[in-house]
Structure 1
């Protein structure tokens, strides 16, 4: 149970922490509106992450029994996918930092809390990286002789959602208190590298289970 909870938290933080275009928009939105609007938008992002974690978990559970003969190759594939994502995230963050590029996506008309929630939910759902990420994590964890119980799967999904929600709400709070500080090139570099580190930790956990 604890392992499923920790895996969900790592997965949730791994995908949520990098402050990219959506994170920048969330901070800027809160800075120019209210914390209530920002918190609603943050929960929209977390909901999308939770939905993708749910989809990946359910799909992984459905095909897990058929994966038993290729357990080891699948785990190695999952490790490679996660490491590639970690490397790509870190490389892109360093490149953007060196070019001093920052994204500034501010809407002309500040939305109300409901609209902010739906806007960020839709924006996050349109990001294919999220579903690829969760699928790699879930398949890497489930390609074992023992299929995770429904409770373990539920804990993983809940932990992933809570991790994402806590970070997005922190960004929203940061937007209300610190304005755009977290969207500076240096801050975005630090958060991206932190995310790549967490994803690498996930890959190493999968790798350790194959040895």
Structure 2
């Protein structure tokens, strides 16, 4: 069981730690809204990673050939969703900034915890590389470390915990950033920089490798 837990923790951190468009958006969203919204968004990402870990231990080697034909379309859909989110975030930040200058209300981007959870869950599920990654690790586990039912459960739980802990660390960074940039201009700059980075990463994700 300990070997399965260690394998799950390593797998969860391995898939969560590379900073991509979703991680950048998570930090920016937390800075612009609230830690509560950021926490729910982080749990959405971790839930997707946990679901893919579950699928990988249940499906095994038969999954990779099924996912390969739709991997490219899913990447395009994911990039499109991220582009929309980035544009909406920038537009909401600009509108909020103008309202703040005219005394028309708060400059914070409107968001709810439930919408943040569902949104980040959906975007993360659009990444088929995750399930291929988990499947490869499960099949490569030494000595059949993830072969029995309780070992599979331990692997999935550990992967979820690892992903959640890393995403929550990013949320903490976003909350600190939000407190540091408390003025309208600071939050506007945070939103625009975050949106620009997400746009760049989304476009890069669908470009062919050099």
The normalised TM-score by structure 2 is 0.61
CA distance in 2, matches of 1:147, 1:20: 28
Distance 2:158 2:115 in 1: 26
The separation in 1 between residues aligned to 2:130 and 2:173, in whole angstroms, is: 23
1:19 aligned partner: 19
Corresponding position of 1:30: 30
Query: 1-side partners of 2:129 and 2:146: how far apart?
Result: 25
Pair member with larger Rg:
2
The whole-number CA distance in structure 1 between the counterparts of 2:2 and 2:154 is 9
In the alignment, is residue 110 of structure 1 matched against residue 115 of structure 2? no
- Which residue of the partner structure matches residue 46 of structure 2? 46
Shift of 1:4: 0.6
**1:162 aligns to 2:168 (yes or no):** no
Cα shift readout 1:136-164 (whole Å, capped 9, x = no counterpart): 111222885x8721111111000000000
Does residue 136 (structure 1) correspond to residue 109 (structure 2)? The answer is no
Whole-angstrom distance in 1 between the partners of 2:17 and 2:9: 12
How many residues are aligned here? 140
CA contact (8 A) 2:146 2:155 kept: no
CA RMSD after TM alignment: 2.4
Q: Scaled by the length of structure 1, what TM-score is found?
A: 0.61
Match of 1:173 in 2: 172
Q: Counterparts of 2:163 and 2:115 in 1: how far apart (Å)? A: 20
Query: 5+ residue gaps in structure 1?
Result: 64-103, 185-211
Q: Which runs of 5+ in 2 are unaligned?
A: 63-84, 93-108, 179-189, 195-210
1:85-124 maps to which residues of 2 (within 5 A)?
105=86, 107=89, 108=92, 109-124=109-124
Q: Render the CA deviation track for 1:3-44: whole Å, top value 9, x for unaligned.
A: 111100000000000111000000000000000000000000
